[in-house]
Structure 1
Amino acid sequence: MNTLHRKHQGACNHKVPLFAGLLALGIILTSSSRADLIYMKDGFVIEGKVRRDHQLELDPTTKEPVSYPRGLFQVDDGTRRIHFLPSQARIAEREEATREEKFTSSKVIFIPHNRPMPSIWEIVQTDSWDENWDRGFIFKGPTGVVGLKQHMGALTPTWARVDAANRHRWGCMYLTREFSDATLRGLLDSNPESTDKAGLPAADRISRKMRRIDFWLQAGRFAEASRETESLKTLGPDTQKQASEASATIARVRAREDLEKIKLLVSGHQFKQAGKALQTFPEQAAADKVASEYRSIRSDMDALSERERECLELLTWTESGLKAQDELKRPLSELKAEFHPDGMERLEIFLGQARSARKAAGNKEPSERAGELAALAVTGWYVGNAGADKSAIVASELASLRRLMIQYLASKDPNQRASILGQIRQLLTRRKFEDLCLMLPHLPPVQPESKPATTLREVQPPPTEPGAPRYAIQVPPDYHHGRAWPVLVALHASGETLADHAAKWSKAAADNGYILLLPLWEIGGPKAGYAYSPREHDAVLDAIRAVKMTHNVDSDRVFLFGFESGANAAFDIGLSHPDHFAGIMPMSGGGFYFSQAYWRNAQSTPFYVVNGDYSGELNAKNRDIFSNWAGRSFNMLWIQYKGRGIEWFAGEVPNIFDWMRVKKRSFPLNALGNVGGGPLGTEFRTSRPTDNRFFWLQADELMPSSQNTGMRYNPAVSPATLSGWIDPATNKAYLKTTGCSQVRLLICRNAKGESLLRLDKPVSIQHQLRTIWNQKKVEPSLETLMEDQRLRGDRSVQVMLDATFKP
């Protein structure tokens, strides 16, 4: 379930297409009806009241200040302001507000002075809530350490309002899911509106108990709702019917949530976990619609399981017909070990032929056709179903080619790699270069872990490689080397241990089917902070590459998160290397230094930025960078928590996974940046020699006048710029750069076979007014392709050839 949107049953909905974005949002802003839901073009949904920033201007006639709607659009959900781009919105859906239980405090807070609340740079201590709904709160700000008392003024199943009770006039908002069951239970037990007292009339006690049941149910805390229901039964025999009805309602809503969890497991391709959950699903308690959907999912899963069983059975049957010395014995055995249901489409031709052969053979071994069937299975598995071939010679050659490719990618010895490359060239005299390209996306990890860790495991550099990256990793419960999995790269706060930060993500990553990777990026030691150095970039990027060596990673679904100083790093690393990531999620950090110069580099990489509006300078920096993004319609969301500072927002974890679920890396093949855009252009920018590759354009050398460093950052330095576009009709690349002394065009293709330029036709390259290549006949370079794969491990992007020149 999308956690930025809680869809309530029985609501009255009215959908409004967002024609031209701004026009429809203007209708919503002026409408008396509440526009609750905004559907983004990528399928993500946000909920709240649509607003727009206002700006004060003096009326030229009256000289009175007038407020005009101008600036960023936002959805206000009470707790947060979710800034979004109208151009990224698709549909607005109006919905009746659903009544929620609300418990309030009658305490009147009086603060005689109007002392402004300082920025909250760090939360030092938060005490437990007492029986008066008060707690102590200590934080660091611009004036040092400040202590005050907080009072909770209101609590609902979705949000809570907390106010300062002394020192400052200040209030802040929390999502209720940021509080534990025990904390919420203590608050309800001590509130006069919800506490159960023995001396109250029976009707009042029952009413309060029912309100508490509703609260827990609306908050999705089913165990607590059931606990209250059991307590309701103790209030007398007249409550038995109400308790029974409440139990049925809890079971019905819980079944709906259980089904959502099953759907989450299925969408994350964790079929074993989904199968276990389906076996324990409470079908009898579910509503008819939910039960029907459950049966449909169960039927689909049963069919998938049966196809998987049949496929493995046919592979084993085929293998039994091969002689011990048959060259296809080993490839077929490896196929069975790598097999995952996601790859069955590559075996469709084999499955059809094997079914027919087994039917014709009865219970006998397929001795006559075993070789053909094995060849079909092996070739289909290697290059895809369309390339399946019944020739044992072809299958054997492809198996040899694949084995050499894996050896090359795993080798650390340049002499050994040169020898392997020669053997590959020899094989390619009999096989097509295209075969090699088709095999790359389906390769297993080149150094696979024998037992991938489903619990957190810290990886230390081996003694022979002290400079190797340090990181922690956790794989999802159903991880298998035969399928490519998405990765969440989480950058810890300064001074935070990898284990402590992993605890914030571990369960959600496992539930959503993500590899969780935590690089130790703080190379200066604990509390050293982020220094904007290439070494810190390498600590993160090398960890990603190391995991690609040992695990099967979906390079189109690698996401980068950062918290506090780690968020500063996420901004910087994400904007410096945007072609590595499907999305960037900084929390309680800002776009400082290089990020202010590099903001254009986010044109193809979406951001999900989270901070509190009392976080000081970083809030202002994020507004600046988001305003620039909004002016260019980049795909971004900026979430501001009201009254909050630099802190961990636990309620955003499910939202972030919902946002990632619909994201894949964008790899533009037609254009990079806006050639000749001037101040309003979107050329990619770089000021460090290591921030040099942007999809298919690379700056091998930067002019000294364009270079900057984190130690001596100078905002007056103009970064180098790179942009280009492709004319498919003439097979020509048009490039423009400034501040670069050597440039490289990477002629690449994606996993779908779509190419930047066609290499079967003459290629032309023009850099500004200079012709680099004019109708040049070229061929793919084996060494270029394999070296790029070795260095980056990106199976989704294949660099077929490069062209290097000095502008």
Structure 2
Amino acid sequence: MSTTQGPVGVIQCITEITPLWVRVQGHTHVWDMRLATSALPRETLAAIFAWQIDRKDLEGRKRVARFYIQARRYREAVEELEKILNDFGDTPGIREQIEPILRQVRQMSAQQLLEELRLRERAGQHRLVMEALANFPSEGVAGGILEQVRQMVADYERRQAQLAELKRQVDETWKQIRDSNLRARLGAIRDEILAELNFNNMDRLAAFGQLVADPDLSAEEKFALAASGWVQGGLEPTTKLPQTASMYNVRQGIIEYLQAPDLLERERIFDRLRREEACTPAIVARIVAALKPPEPIPAEAFIPWSEAFRPAAEKHPAKDEPSNGPAAGEGEDAPQLSAEETARQAEAPDAERAAAEEISSGLAGKTELQFAPGFYRLSVQGLPSAPPVTYWVQLPPEYDPYRRYPMIITLHGAGSTPQMQIDFWAGEWKPGGWRQGQASRRGYIVVAPAWAAPYQKQYQFSAAEHAAVLAVLRDVCRRFAVDTDRVYLTGHSMGGDAAWDIGLAHPDLWAGVIPFVATSDKYIPLYWQNAEYVPLYFVCGELDGDRMVTNARDFDRYLNRGFNVTVVEYLGRGHEFFFDELHRVFDWMERTR
């Protein structure tokens, strides 16, 4: 641990283990703390049990299996129960006792896998889910679970058939347009619909699908229904083909307007748009809401796979801030976990990791990767007098610009890096080109700007820092499909200070703000009233210097007035990443929209 006299070595021991938490006590110093059991790797638990439990002790082996079941580590439970049968199969009555439990645990494991599939389905990862459903284990699995799997498979088959039929109907309707010149002009619209129609946007053609068989409508009117629904997000489709053609002109004009480099060009485009029949406030609002992000991703933003996938020791400095001990000079105790382990533990807990790995491995590329999937490095100008702000973006698996995604903007601490923040929220890269962290599993975009100056040790409460974060937010929303009602700001240590300040300064921009090990200072106490308008989730350590005392005044103001504020304090712990809080943070974000 770090102290005012320099680093002090502390030997810690795990002295008690429960399915929910483990007790860690100091051997050389007085220190008593708790960690989530889900934070322990399966290898560590197995080593502890192997040391403590005699492999010839049947009752002890049963206790190990019972522990795994209570901790929802069903894969390990199945393995232990099978080993018990193998080692003690000749013991009278043991098979009659263990085999029913083994069958039940296999059901629990299958149910856990099914829950993971439903989570991925809600996140829009349909290809991955379909592949996993096709390979869902059936041996020894109860009929009720298999029936749920069959229903999911049937639902996907129904949607695939509906999608194929919609594409066929759009194509046939376009071919039935009698005027060859008109049909040629509408060819680009037809090509776009056939190329980009998918599960996430097929509801745009709902009206067309219902009326395509109506004999009273001409082919031109039916195609207008499809095209107008497509461009307006399925709202207020029309059978008037001239108005539909005007909608496409308006959409193209809007894209050009948003991409225009100067005011003169925007005024020229706007003057042209005003003459279009479909340029009304209501139609323009619907078109804008249904637009894909207008700014393309430049070629130089793609990050080579060889650069993204590096050994953890190369990516994570040996000494990080937040260090896994307290900030230097504070002299308080905190657990010593490596940065590599911190990033790894931010992934799915071991209770879920088996299911997550089984599913996520389907994301692995079949060929050698040239670029890291969905991983980009971009830059944007903050204040005119400041250098451009570089930021990193990790998109969720199967990202689709027609789907709106929640987004996390995460601010690094001193001595830390934006890439480490991406790893914390989205998980580290796996060799096949996929991540299995919480943001990846749940379908969140993660953005990490290099918002601070090199070697900066404290948040400066400056206009340049505010401008850097807000410019990144604006640029990301222009390039990626962000649900702007679900943008969350977070940060660790110095980055937590910045998140707290910027969150309160601009409460209308955020669905929630999540400062980790942050300190209230300077302007934060001055506009505390803004906490009424933005949900806050603080993660703190009891032994993190005097931060809890410093923050107490603001916490009291928020909580006594009933603001939507959560304060989580970990007893016996200090200045950390607090990876074991991630799952509750995501549950909170799901409820905070």
Whether TM exceeds 0.5 here: the answer is: yes
Q: Taking structure 1 as reference, are residues 480 and 209 closer, same or farther at Cα in structure 2, changes over 3 Å only?
A: same
SS in 1 for 2:533: coil
* 1:283, distance to aligned residue in structure 2 (A): 4.8
How far did residue 390 of structure 1 move?
1.3
The CA deviation string for residues 665-707 of structure 1, in whole angstroms up to 9 with x for no partner, is: xxxxxxxxxxxxxxxxxxxxxxxxxxxxxxxxxxxxxxxxxxx
Any gaps of 5 or more consecutive residues in structure 2?
Answer: 303-370, 427-436
Q: Determine the structure 1 residue equivalent to 2:287.
A: 439
Of 638-647 and 302-311, more deviation after overlay is shown by 302-311
Q: Aligned AA for 1:349?
A: A
1:243 CA displacement: 5.4
Partner of 2:12: 150
Q: What's the offset of the Cα at 1:386? A: 4.4
1:34-57 Cα shifts (integer Å, max 9, x gaps): xxxxxxxxxxxxxxxxxxxxxxxx
Q: Is the 8 A contact 1:256 1:286 kept in 2?
A: no
Give per-residue Cα distances to partners, 1:129-154, cap 9 Å, x unaligned: xxxxxxxxxx1245653333322221
**Larger CA deviation: 346-355 vs 616-625:** 616-625
Deviations, residues 743-767 of structure 1 (Å, cap 9, x unaligned): xxxxxxxxxxxxxxxxxxxxxxxxx
Residue aligning to 2:81: 229
Please state if 1:510 is matched with 2:440: yes
Computed over aligned residues only, the root mean square deviation of the Cα atoms, in angstroms, reads 2.8
Q: Is the 8 A contact 1:586 1:609 kept in 2?
A: yes
| Unaligned segments of structure 1, at least 5 residues | 1-138, 361-367, 665-807
The partner residue of 2:106 within 210, 232, 251 is: 251
Aligned-partner SS, 1:444: coil
- How far apart in 2 are the matches of 1:662 and 1:316? 42
Residues 412 and 492 in structure 2, CA contact (< 8 A), matched pair in contact too? yes
Q: Which moved more, 1:286-295 or 1:491-500?
A: 286-295
Query: For 1:250, what is the secondary structure of its paired residue?
Result: helix
Q: Does 1:389 align with 2:319?
A: no
Offset, 1:291: 4.3
Q: Find the residue that maps to 1:472 and give its secondary structure.
A: strand
The 3 A distance-change label for structure 1 pair 175 and 328 is: same
Q: Deviations over 1:465-494 (max 9, x none)?
A: 994431111111121111111112222222
Give the equivalent residue in structure 2 for 1:180. Answer: 41
Aligned counterpart, 2:67: 215
Match of 1:471 among 391, 396, 401: 391
Instruction: Please name the residue that 1:333 is paired with.
Output: 191
Deviation at 1:292, TM superposition (A): 4.7
CA contact (8 A) 1:178 1:649 kept: no
> What's 2:122 paired with?
267
Shift of 1:167: 3.4
| Deviations 1:189-212, CA, capped at 9 Å, x for gaps | 223xxx225xxxx5xx12111211
The structure 2 residue matched to 1:646, chosen from 548, 558, 575, is 575
Relative to total residues, which structure has the larger strand share, 1 or 2?
Answer: 1
Q: How many residues align?
A: 504
Taking structure 1 as reference, are residues 608 and 339 closer, same or farther at Cα in structure 2, changes over 3 Å only? farther
Distance of aligned partners of 1:639 and 1:333 in 2 relative to their CA distance in 1, 3 Å threshold? same
Conservation of the 8 A alpha-carbon contact between 1:471 and 1:517: yes
In the alignment, does 2:409 pair up with 1:489?
yes
Q: Does 1:521 align with 2:451?
A: yes
Q: Is contact 2:489-2:513 (8 Å) kept? A: yes
- Other-structure match for 1:688: none
Supply the AA of the counterpart residue of 2:73.
Answer: R
Alignment partner, residue 499 of structure 1: 419
Residue by residue over 1:354-404, the C-alpha shift from the partner in whole angstroms, topping out at 9 and shown as x without a partner, is: 2446xx9xxxxxxx9443222111211223444211111101111101111
Residues 697-748 of structure 1 deviation map (CA, whole Å, 9 limit, x = unaligned): xxxxxxxxxxxxxxxxxxxxxxxxxxxxxxxxxxxxxxxxxxxxxxxxxxxx
Asked if the contact 1:496–1:526 (Cα under 8 Å) also holds between the matched residues in 2, the reply is: no
Aligned ranges 1:400-411 → 2 under 5 Å: 400-411=249-260
Q: Secondary structure at the match of 1:151?
A: strand
In structure 2, relative to structure 1, the CA distance for the partners of 1:289 and 1:599 (3 Å cut) is: farther
Larger radius of gyration: 1
Aligned counterpart for 1:457 among listed residues 375, 383, 408: 375
Q: How does 1:529-548 map to 2 (within 5 A)?
A: 529-548=458-477
**Alpha carbons of structure 1 residues 345 and 221: separation in structure 2 relative to 1, 3 Å:** same
Q: State the AA in 1 paired with 2:81.
A: T
Cα distance in structure 2, aligned partners of 1:147 and 1:635: 40
Q: Distance in 2 between matches of 1:460 and 1:387?
A: 37
Distance in 2, matches of 1:298 and 1:608, equals 38
Q: Which has the higher contact order (CA 8 A, sep 6+)?
A: 2
Of 418, 421, 427, the residue aligned with 2:267 is 418
**Quick one: distance in 1 between partners of 2:376 and 2:282?**
39
Counterpart CA distance in 1 for 2:523 and 2:172 is: 59
Q: CA deviation at 1:528?
A: 3.4
1:399–1:456 distance in 2 versus 1, CA, 3 Å? closer
Describe the SS at the equivalent of 1:163: strand
Query: TM-score when scaled to structure 2?
Result: 0.78
Match of 1:623 among 549, 552, 555: 552
Which structure has the highest helix share of the two?
2
SS of aligned partner of 1:174: strand
Q: Closer, same or farther in 2 for the Cα pair 1:483/1:339, shift >3 Å?
A: farther
Label 1:450 to 1:211 Cα distance change in 2 as closer, same or farther (>3 A).
farther
- Distance between the aligned counterparts of 2:280 and 2:570, measured in 1? 56
Q: Is the 8 A contact 1:603 1:634 kept in 2?
A: yes
Q: How does 1:85-104 map to 2 (within 5 A)?
A: none
Match of 2:321 in 1: none
Q: 2:25: which partner in 1?
A: 163
In structure 2, do the counterparts of structure 1 residues 554 and 335 end up closer, same or farther at CA, with 3 Å as the change threshold?
Answer: farther
Q: Secondary structure at the match of 1:162?
A: strand
CA contact (8 A) 1:410 1:446 kept: yes
Counterpart pick for 2:204 among 346, 369, 375:
346
For 2:443, the aligned partner's letter is G
Paired position in structure 1 for 2:495: 566
Is the Cα–Cα contact under 8 Å of residues 481 and 551 in structure 1 kept in the other structure?
yes
Report how far residue 417 of structure 1 moved.
1.1
1:399 to 232, 236, 248: 248
1:721-740 map, 5 Å: none
Q: Distance in 2 between matches of 1:313 and 1:250?
A: 46
**Is the 1:217–1:250 contact (alpha carbons within 8 Å) kept by the matching residues of 2?**
yes
Contact kept, 8 Å, 2:376 with 2:394, in 1: the verdict is: no
Which position in structure 2 is the counterpart of 1:724?
Answer: none
The CA deviation string for residues 236-271 of structure 1, in whole angstroms up to 9 with x for no partner, is 432672554454233111111112111211222322
SS in 1 for 2:527: helix
SS at match of 1:351: helix
Deviation readout 1:644-671 (Å, 9 max, x if unpaired): 111021212222222212322xxxxxxx
The one-letter amino acid paired with 1:187 is I
Match of 2:327 in 1: none
Query: What is the DSSP-based 3-state SS (H/G/I as helix, E as strand, rest coil) of the residue aligned with 1:470?
Result: strand
The letter for the 1-side match of 2:19 is P
Q: Is the 8 A contact 2:532 2:563 kept in 1?
A: yes
Describe the SS at the equivalent of 1:586.
Answer: strand
User: CA separation of 1:617/1:456 partners in 2, compared to 1, >3 Å: closer, same or farther?
Assistant: farther
SS in 1 for 2:34: strand
**Counterpart Cα distance in 2 of 1:658 and 1:254:** 22
Match in the other structure for 1:671: none
% identity of equivalent residues: 28
Q: 1:118 maps to what in 2?
A: none
What's the secondary structure of 1:160's corresponding residue? strand
Check conservation: 1:454, 1:477, Cα contact below 8 A: no
Aligned to 2:587: 658
Separation (CA, whole Å) in 2 of partners of 1:527 and 1:181: 38
Closer, same or farther: CA 479–352 of 1 in aligned 2, 3 Å: same
What letter matches 1:140 in structure 2?
S
The amino acid of 2:22's aligned partner reads A
